[in-house]
């Protein structure tokens, strides 16, 4: 497929603007660009076809099954977009006077109230644009807390080895040394190892619950007490909230600060880079450090508060990705309390259904029942047939299924992490189960075929090393 720049023809356009009837304003040279901006020049018909072709060559939730573990690729109700598209939300300016955007401020305030209720937190900021930025924000709150208490010795963050890669990366960015603790045989946090490493230099613990292997940490209250008793704080990576939303609250488990991935648990189309929203919620003890501005309700309406002298500052301009927050708020309001509970229950049911139907063929990494996702290992097939997790993933593409998350978590060899989500029907799950079985048969009988997959997609196997080492991100004009 040609790039839009390659299709461009000088002088071709689709603007139908009338000639200007006001005098031209000449902008000071200091503010204008030195060379002309080279935008593609095309007719509307060709632009339309170009983007339609791109859509056809990608895979989204609207195309088919998308069991990308940990990413919660669920169906996104269209009403969310309708609300986010309302002029009063979409066309406002972030610097508009407060009295003209009371509705938007009320929406932010309501979102804070609902998401605090859902998570058991006291305050929340919607500034962070994604989970990873939420993690950094959360750890900076923890750092601010210890620093204000002059507890400078605390320079370590404890993270289980099953954690998402962003956790250790974030802790390092926040200036901490990462202490990794090995999980037990059963995949859960090892309490004895935790006790060994927790000390008066522990700033905090970062934990995902249910973990990235789809297991609920049943000793969570003991885990959080061990850290609290030693003066540390506890961070909740909320990417897996889909399994427990409406049923269990991180705040009640003992977590002090959390992030949510609104673009995972609370719908919003994602993949391909956003936009996302990773709000950070915290208990009262950390609230004064939250990013500015916060939204506050007063007698004469809603206001932004900028003068929080303890604040860690601003993490993202203005108030974050506001329209994503609106989608999530619409989602929560339209489902209601009971609907949210069903979301979690059905997510767990669907994952267990798939796991149960695959466990006799594929090697399940940890004995179930699982939460909203499960991990299978392709290690045995690799030894016997030379077939890897990558080969299975590429073969699924031939059947219109997006591959599961591959080679994560790191503690499972040849891992495939499957998260069906609650929005898939039983028929879709049955079809996917059959395809997984079919691919297994092929791996046994004609493994060479799987090595060549996918054969019917727009592109076959890509040179992933070259793509990572030598990415071409800019169009080179001739």
Ligand X SMILES: *Cc1c(COP(=O)(O)O)cnc(C)c1O
**Binding span for ligand X by CB under 6 A among 3-11, 88-96, 125-133, 447-455:** 125-133
Residue 327 engages ligand X in binding (rule: CB under 6 A): no
Contact 327, 268 (CB under 8 A): yes
Residue 131 engages ligand X in binding (rule: CB under 6 A): yes
Build a one-symbol-per-residue string for 30-69: x at contacts with ligand X by CB under 6 A, - elsewhere.
----------------------------------------
Please, what is the minimum distance in Å from the beta carbon of residue 262 to ligand X? 9
Please, what is the minimum distance in Å from the beta carbon of residue 296 to ligand X? 27
Size of the site for ligand X (CB under 6 A): 14
Build a one-symbol-per-residue string for 156-195: x at contacts with ligand X by CB under 6 A, - elsewhere.
--------x-x-----------------------------
Residue 132 engages ligand X in binding (rule: CB under 6 A): yes
Figure out which of the listed residues 61, 70, 294, 385 binds ligand X, where binding follows CB under 6 A: 70
**Binding span for ligand X by CB under 6 A among 85-93, 128-136, 280-288, 425-433:** 128-136
Please give the structure tokens belonging to residue 245: 């939303």
Please, what is the minimum distance in Å from the beta carbon of residue 128 to ligand X? 9
Say whether the peptide bond before residue 155 is cis (omega within 30 degrees of 0).
no
CA distance 346 to 354: 12
CA distance 67 to 251: 28
Looking at the Cβ atoms of 80 and 212, the one nearer to ligand X is 212
Looking at the Cβ atoms of 329 and 387, the one nearer to ligand X is 329
Residue 212 engages ligand X in binding (rule: CB under 6 A): yes
Neighbouring C-beta atoms of residue 321, cutoff 10 Å: 24
Which residues would be at the binding site for ligand X (CB under 6 A)? 70-71, 130-132, 164, 166, 208, 212, 237, 239, 261, 276, 278
């Amino acid at each position: 497929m040609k790039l839009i720049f390659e299709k461009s023809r000088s002088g071709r356009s689709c603007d139908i603007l009338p000639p200007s009837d006001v005098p031209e304003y000449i902008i000071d040279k200091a503010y204008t660009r030195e060379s002309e901006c080279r935008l593609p020049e095309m007719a509307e018909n060709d632009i339309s076809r170009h983007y339609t072709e791109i859509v056809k060559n990608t895979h989204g939730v609207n195309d088919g099954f998308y069991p990308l573990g940990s990413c919660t690729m669920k169906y996104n109700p269209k009403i969310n977009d309708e609300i986010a598209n309302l002029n009063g939300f979409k066309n406002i300016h972030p610097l508009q006077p407060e009295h003209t955007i009371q509705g938007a401020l009320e929406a932010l305030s309501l979102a804070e109230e609902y998401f605090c209720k859902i998570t058991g937190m006291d305050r929340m900021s919607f500034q962070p644009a994604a989970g990873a930025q939420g993690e950094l924000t959360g750890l900076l709150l923890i750092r601010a807390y210890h620093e204000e208490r002059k507890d400078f010795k605390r320079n370590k963050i404890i993270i289980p080895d099953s954690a998402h890669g962003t956790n250790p990366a974030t802790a390092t960015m926040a200036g901490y040394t990462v202490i990794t603790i090995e999980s037990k045989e059963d995949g859960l946090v090892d309490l004895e190892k935790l006790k060994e490493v927790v000390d008066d230099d522990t700033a905090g613990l970062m934990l995902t619950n249910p973990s990235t292997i789809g297991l609920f940490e049943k000793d969570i209250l003991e885990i959080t007490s061990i850290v609290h008793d030693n003066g540390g704080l506890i961070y909740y990576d909320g990417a897996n909230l889909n399994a427990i939303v409406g049923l269990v609250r991180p705040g009640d488990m003992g977590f002090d600060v959390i992030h949510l991935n609104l673009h995972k648990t609370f719908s919003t189309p994602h993949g391909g880079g956003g936009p996302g929203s990773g709000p950070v919620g915290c208990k009262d003890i950390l609230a004064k450090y939250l990013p500015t501005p916060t939204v506050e309700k007063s007698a004469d309406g809603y206001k932004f508060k900028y003068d929080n002298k303890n604040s860690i500052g601003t993490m993202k301009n203005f108030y974050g990705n506001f329209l994503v927050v609106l989608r999530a708020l619409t989602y929560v309001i339209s489902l209601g309390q009971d609907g949210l509970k069903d979301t979690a229950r059905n997510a767990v049911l669907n994952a267990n259904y798939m796991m149960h139907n695959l466990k006799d063929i594929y090697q399940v990494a940890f004995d179930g029942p699982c939460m909203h996702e499960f991990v299978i290992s392709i290690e045995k097939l690799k030894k016997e047939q030379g077939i890897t997790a990558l080969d299975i993933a590429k073969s699924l593409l031939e059947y219109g299924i997006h591959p599961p998350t591959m080679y994560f978590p790191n503690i499972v060899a040849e891992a495939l992490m499957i998260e069906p989500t609650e929005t898939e029907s039983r028929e879709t799950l049955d079809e996917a189960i059959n395809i997984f079985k079919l691919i297994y048969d092929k791996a046994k009988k004609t493994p060479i075929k799987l090595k060549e997959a996918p054969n019917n997609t727009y592109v076959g196997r890509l040179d992933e090393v070259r793509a990572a080492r030598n990415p071409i991100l800019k169009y080179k004009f001739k």
